[in-house]
Amino acid sequence: MAPPTATQTATPAEDDIEQTVRKLAKLKPISHGFGGENASTNTGPQLEYLKILPEPARKRFEKYGIDLSKGYPVIPLPDEIPKFADEAFAIRNKDFPYVEKGKKADPEKKALLGAAKEVRHLTKHIGTEIVGLQLSELNDKQKNELALLVAERVVVFFRDQDLSPQAQLALGEYWGQVERHPQAPHVPLPEREDADEIAKGSGISVIWRKFFNEYYGLSKGFKKKQAAAGWHTDLVHEHQPAGLTHLHNDTIPKTGGDTAWASGYAAYDKLSPALQQFVDGKTAIYRSAHQYIDRANPLKGPKYIEREHPIVRTHPATGWKSLFVNRAMTVRIVGLEPDESNLILEYLYSVYEKNLDIQVRFKWQPTKEGFGTSAIWDNRISQHYAIPDYDVDEDDRHGTRVTALAEIPYFDPSSKSQREALGLSLN
Ligand SMILES: [Fe+2]
């Protein structure tokens, strides 16, 4: 007698699951973590939304030869988007080289700061604005020094920038491997030869609330707006999570649309020595913003990608410790009971969120018409919050974002907190 085939040996229940998995694989991907009930499933270049692209963004793209003829933005095609959690987990799930450019910098940052017209610290503990420099014209020495400045000040701003998407991408690539998102809308650029097999796209993500609202079917109402914003850190579920993120806004509302950042160094320094000792060396589970199907249990509902990282991480350029948690994407502290983990995480989030002295709120408004404004921040040592207080139909906001992925997060037990390293009072 011939040996039984897999189908003959499978139980009816396993058979059903097999078939369900096969059927689900043919479906369109589960929509974005924004979770809009009426999300569009129309992928590829978006002709319909090109019509509502704000004029300053259109002019910038035309000036720099971005081909919008097929539509804008571009959503990866259904067969390019992973449907199952294991497929999405496999994206960049291996070590890749990372060179910390901030470590190569002159600690005094003379090439960068010396060339600026003005250097303004916006608050004592976080945020610096550089006046009189074009990001597109920085040399490598200045780019290294900028990486160090961001590592020290958490976020650095440049107004009045004439910046092409291509130059923004090149700057990100200088700092690390640029993240290419498997689902998110992006700026169309010709396909790169070394493009990742799974995560396609140009690496220039689109940040455009009016499009997000309409495409993902999100509520525009005042009451629900907070759900789409909130304190978070980008891409913490990656094997090598985000380092420097550069958001360039080319279309900025006259009033509103500010962004706030909070310092992870300062959040750590706010903790008592006893609590610092408790969190040092602990790890937590971090999740993705997007959801996928669990192959082993396809009917269970959408599943996030999860990875384990240290709660306190050491920044490779400064050597300072930072509190690496955020309300949106930290699931649980490893080794604690769920109730303990929730209680402690809630307190750690509140340190970031409630201490306004470790935050900066930035108005994007450029001083010269026709120019955009850039913010470059380090996700390893911060959280941010996009404040959705503008009316997208009256006064839109549009930007392009490039993220350089960094090292595998680590905790060096011999590293110091920022205040310790700078010899400041620890009280
Ligand atoms: Fe973000």
In order along its 427 residues, the chain shows pLDDT tens digits of: 444 444 445 566 667 667 766 666 665 555 554 555 556 678 889 999 999 999 999 999 999 999 999 999 999 887 777 788 888 888 888 899 999 999 999 999 999 999 999 999 999 999 999 999 999 999 999 999 999 999 999 999 999 999 999 999 999 999 999 998 877 899 998 876 665 555 678 899 999 999 998 988 877 777 765 555 599 998 898 899 999 999 999 999 999 999 999 999 999 999 999 999 999 999 999 998 888 888 888 787 788 899 999 999 999 999 999 999 999 999 999 999 999 999 999 999 999 999 999 999 999 998 888 899 999 999 999 999 999 899 888 899 999 999 999 999 999 999 999 999 999 999 8
Q: How far is the CA of 240 from the centre of ligand 1 (A)?
A: 17
Q: How far is the CA of 295 from the centre of ligand 1 (A)?
A: 28
Residue 43 CA to residue 29 CA, distance in Å, equals: 10
CA-nearest of 71, 85, 269 to 185 is 71
Q: Answer yes or no: is 427 within a domain.
A: no
Q: Answer yes or no: is 334 within a domain.
A: yes
Q: Answer yes or no: is 359 within a domain.
A: yes
The parent domain of residue 346 ranges over 11-421
DSSP state letters, 342-383: HHHHHHHHHHHHH-GGGEEEE----SSTT-EEEEEEEGGGEE
Q: Answer yes or no: is 426 within a domain.
A: no
Q: Answer yes or no: is 67 within a domain.
A: yes
- List, in sequence order, every residue forming a beta bridge with 333; answer none if it has no partner: 284
Q: How far is the CA of 178 from the centre of ligand 1 (A)?
A: 15
Q: How far is the CA of 101 from the centre of ligand 1 (A)?
A: 22
Q: Letter for the amino acid at 90?
A: A
Q: Is 137 exposed, middle or buried, given 0-12, 13-18 or 19+ CB atoms closer than 10 A?
A: exposed
**Phi–psi pair at 330, nearest 5 degrees:** -95, 125
Number of CB atoms found within 10 A of residue 334's CB: 14
**Phi–psi pair at 355, nearest 5 degrees:** -90, 95
Q: Answer yes or no: is 352 within a domain.
A: yes
* Percent composition of the chain: helix, strand, coil (DSSP 3-state, to 5): 30, 25, 45
Residue 326 CA to residue 312 CA, distance in Å, equals: 12
DSSP state letters, 213-272: HHHTT---STTTGGGGS-SB-TTTTSSS-EEEEEEEEEE--SS---EEEEEHHHHHHHS-
Strand 74-75 and strand 44-45: pairing? antiparallel
Tell me the three state secondary structure of residue 85: helix
Q: What is the pTM of this model?
A: 0.91
Q: Answer yes or no: is 3 within a domain.
A: no
Tell me the three state secondary structure of residue 205: strand
Q: Answer yes or no: is 90 within a domain.
A: yes
How many domains does the chain divide into?
Answer: 1
DSSP state of 38: T
Torsion on CA atoms 164, 170, 176, 177, rounded to nearest 10: 90
Q: How far is the CA of 354 from the centre of ligand 1 (A)?
A: 19
Q: How far is the CA of 234 from the centre of ligand 1 (A)?
A: 5
Q: How far is the CA of 382 from the centre of ligand 1 (A)?
A: 11
Q: What CATH number does the domain containing 416 carry?
A: 3.60.130.10
Q: 423-426, long-range: CB within 8 Å, 24+ apart, which pairs?
A: 426/269, 426/273
Neighbouring residues of 222: CB distance < 8 A, sequence distance ≥ 6: none
Q: How far is the CA of 384 from the centre of ligand 1 (A)?
A: 6
pLDDT digits (tens, 9 = 90+) for 85-125: 888 888 888 899 999 999 999 999 999 999 999 999 999 99
The answer to whether 46 and 303 are in contact (CB under 8 A) is: no
